[in-house]
Amino acid sequence: MSQSRHRLADVLALGPVIPVITINRLQDAVPLARALVAGGVRLLEITLRTPDGMAGAEAIIREVPDAVVGIGTVLTPADLHRSIEIGARFALSPGATPKLLDAAAAADIPFMPGVATASELMEAMIRGFDAVKFFPATAAGGLPYLKALAGPFPQARFCPTGGLTEENAADWLAQPNVVAVGGSWLTPATEIAAGQWDAITARAVRSRERLKGGAGG
């Protein structure tokens, strides 16, 4: 677990913004990844929300070597093991069952379990996960809640996702217990469907400039 934790820290150091990507058409996966990498965004969370999610991630890993691909919406140990098989560099979940946490603790892949409550955070930390995905960030209490967690859990680090925007992401990154932020604003579905890759590259550049300085210490 300690090795995986160090590798997760190395991955997150490439942030601080992680686009949360939904692949509706397999043919969009590679050009979308290339557009983001061209804009300086290398960390990509490919969600398993659609049938083409895993295949899209596999194509990106194969064809876009500068992309650092993570698998999101990991719900079961089987999802986790498949992520490892295709060569994903990290994995994330929107929540975490004891079975998934145990599987992730035993697996050789950096993993960020999803938490929305103090009790869920405790379950994750018991198993050695001190960097977690805070989801759904705004609906689960927003910045006030995240600040409140810093008191009893000073060692915990968060990647808030859910409701973040280009306009408010910097507020989250300014928090000392935030290591990265995730959001879908970088990859609007309408632009993906229209193949507007230049627009996505421009937004990636703009977001990175806006969030320069990274996460809290």
**Tell me: the pLDDT tens digits for 105-114?**
999 999 999 9
pLDDT averaged over every residue in the chain: 95
Task: Indicate the domain borders of the chain.
Answer: 2-210
Q: How would residue 1 be classed by pLDDT, with cut points 50, 70 and 90?
A: low
Percent of the chain with pLDDT over 70: 97
Half-sphere exposure of 150 (CA within 13 A, CB side): 12
- 58, 63, 123, 133: the active-site residue: 133
**CATH fold label, 2-210:** TIM Barrel (3.20.20)
Q: Tell me the average pLDDT across 128-150.
A: 97
Q: Give the residues across from 182 on adjacent strands.
A: 18, 161
pTM for the complete prediction?
0.94
The verdict on whether 212 is a catalytic residue reads: no
214 close to 16: Cβ distance less than 8 angstroms? yes
The verdict on whether 133 is a catalytic residue reads: yes
**Tell me: the pLDDT tens digits for 140-191?**
999 999 999 999 999 999 999 999 999 999 999 999 999 999 999 999 999 9
Pairing between strand 90-92 and 68-72? parallel
- 45, 63, 99, 167: the active-site residue: 45
